Amino acid sequence: MPSTNNTIDRHYQMIDTDKSREIIRKAMEVARLEIPKGAVATYIPELGKMDPNRLGICLYPLVGEKICMGDYDTRFTMQSVSKILMLIVALELCGLKSVFKKVGAEPSGEAFNSLVELDLNNSKPYNPLINSGALAVCGMLLPEVSFQDMVRFAREICSDRDIVLNKDVYESEMRTCSRNRSIAYLLESKGIITTDVEDTLRFYTKMCSLNVTAESLANLGKKLANDGVCMLTGKRFMSSRTSRIVKTLMLTCGMYDGSGTFAIKVGIPSKSGVGGGLLSVSDKRAGIGVFGPALDAQGNSIAGIKLLREISNELRLNLFYDPEWNKEDDEEDTVIRRMADASVGI
């Protein structure tokens, strides 16, 4: 029978809360085993102080109860997850054409802080979810909004009044950000950043240093899952087009040079940050926030990925949900990894 609620009108839906809770609880146990294989980020010295053993999740379905587990309310810095906020605001205020005149919409296959493509003639950052692209987006935002405006927006869209700047992390990154500084000056030399470079860098780094929780990310994810609209208040935070573009880029570029493999293993548009955060959006179904600061080689939460992988198909959150699918065994896993490493694609 067709659903009367258009928001969840899909041919399959999530399973009930009790079963979901049990599946997530088991997945947390499996995911914890991954923690020793990762490490917290140390290139921003303040992040090196984080406890790698933390793990938390908040899953907020469009219909059904919110499920919170582990360190779901621990504060950590948003880091690259804030690129989503910057992109939303840039698309809304500057428009699609202006944004994509300065940045591309293609996966880079490079590390998040790469600057290799920028020295080529006529090139621009591959996409807005890597550092170069986000710095270009910041250059566009600077004349339009203040950092305080962005904090207000973050608080509202994450339904979290306690989001503030983590000054220690901000200052720590400002002391060690020569790579981002190089990228920003290169972008200025190409005419992509036309605002003051140091101001742009400060704005970007402050956005990365906003303190959130897995629960705040789930709130943000839920609005994206519901086409940019808050289900409780009916407030629209962005156009449908912006919401669709952001989710698409999350799927193709959100996990940096791990995006393709992640899409195969998990199939949920996601954005990671080196603070250990993961924002995931199961379209029309749920917003998910994860916190797990031990990172893999790409700078993505190692236990967070495992956790999402364990629940994606069982909870029917995968974009390509497949009732026949069981998690690949280790052998297949190795094959996927080898193919990805050899960049031969799949």
Catalytic machinery residues: 80, 83, 204, 256, 274
Contact characters 254-273, ligand GLN, x per CB under 6 A: -------------------x
Q: Which is nearer to ligand GLN, 131 or 166 (CB)?
A: 131
**68: three-class secondary structure by DSSP:** strand
Structure tokens belonging to residue 305: 């990925």
Element of type H or E holding 341: helix 330-341
List Cα–Cα distances, 38 to 156, 219, 254, in angstroms. Answer: 33, 27, 19
Question: Per CB under 6 A, which of residues 61..90 are in contact with ligand GLN?
Answer: 79-80
Cα–Cα distance between 25 and 321 in angstroms, integer? 21
Based on the shown chain and the rule CB under 6 A, indicate whether residue 321 belongs to the binding site for ligand GLN. Answer: no
Based on the shown chain and the rule CB under 6 A, indicate whether residue 200 belongs to the binding site for ligand GLN. Answer: no
Structure tokens belonging to residue 90: 């840039």
Q: Which amino acid is at 32?
A: R
| Strands 270-272, 277-282: pairing kind | antiparallel
* Least distance from ligand GLN to the Cβ atom of residue 48, Å: 13
Closest CA to 128 of 163, 155, 147, 101: 101
Structure tokens belonging to residue 30: 């499996």
Cα–Cα distance between 92 and 170 in angstroms, integer? 26
Question: Per CB under 6 A, which of residues 288..317 are in contact with ligand GLN?
Answer: 299
Sheet holding 286-291, edge to edge: 67-70, 56-61, 286-291, 277-282, 270-272
Q: Which is nearer to ligand GLN, 27 or 135 (CB)?
A: 135
Based on the shown chain and the rule CB under 6 A, indicate whether residue 126 belongs to the binding site for ligand GLN. Answer: no
Cα–Cα distance between 7 and 15 in angstroms, integer? 16
* Least distance from ligand GLN to the Cβ atom of residue 231, Å: 28
* Least distance from ligand GLN to the Cβ atom of residue 193, Å: 15
* Least distance from ligand GLN to the Cβ atom of residue 181, Å: 10
Q: Which is nearer to ligand GLN, 68 or 192 (CB)?
A: 192
Closest CA to 133 of 180, 167, 178: 180
Give the binding-site size for ligand GLN (rule: CB under 6 A): 11
Of 208, 251, 255, 290, which lies in the binding site for ligand GLN, with binding defined by CB under 6 A? Answer: 208
Q: Which is nearer to ligand GLN, 82 or 243 (CB)?
A: 82
Of 274, 281, 294, 340, which lies in the binding site for ligand GLN, with binding defined by CB under 6 A? Answer: 274
CA atoms in the 13 A half-sphere facing the CB of 82? 31
Structure tokens belonging to residue 259: 């995006």
Based on the shown chain and the rule CB under 6 A, indicate whether residue 114 belongs to the binding site for ligand GLN. Answer: no
Cα–Cα distance between 320 and 310 in angstroms, integer? 15
Q: Which is nearer to ligand GLN, 76 or 321 (CB)?
A: 76
Q: Give residue 267's region: left, alpha or beta (phi > 0; psi -120 to 50).
A: left
Based on the shown chain and the rule CB under 6 A, indicate whether residue 173 belongs to the binding site for ligand GLN. Answer: yes
Based on the shown chain and the rule CB under 6 A, indicate whether residue 125 belongs to the binding site for ligand GLN. Answer: no
* Least distance from ligand GLN to the Cβ atom of residue 272, Å: 7
Based on the shown chain and the rule CB under 6 A, indicate whether residue 166 belongs to the binding site for ligand GLN. Answer: no
Q: Which is nearer to ligand GLN, 173 or 227 (CB)?
A: 173
Q: Which is nearer to ligand GLN, 70 or 299 (CB)?
A: 299
Contact residues for ligand GLN (CB under 6 A)?
79-80, 112-113, 131, 173, 180, 208, 273-274, 299
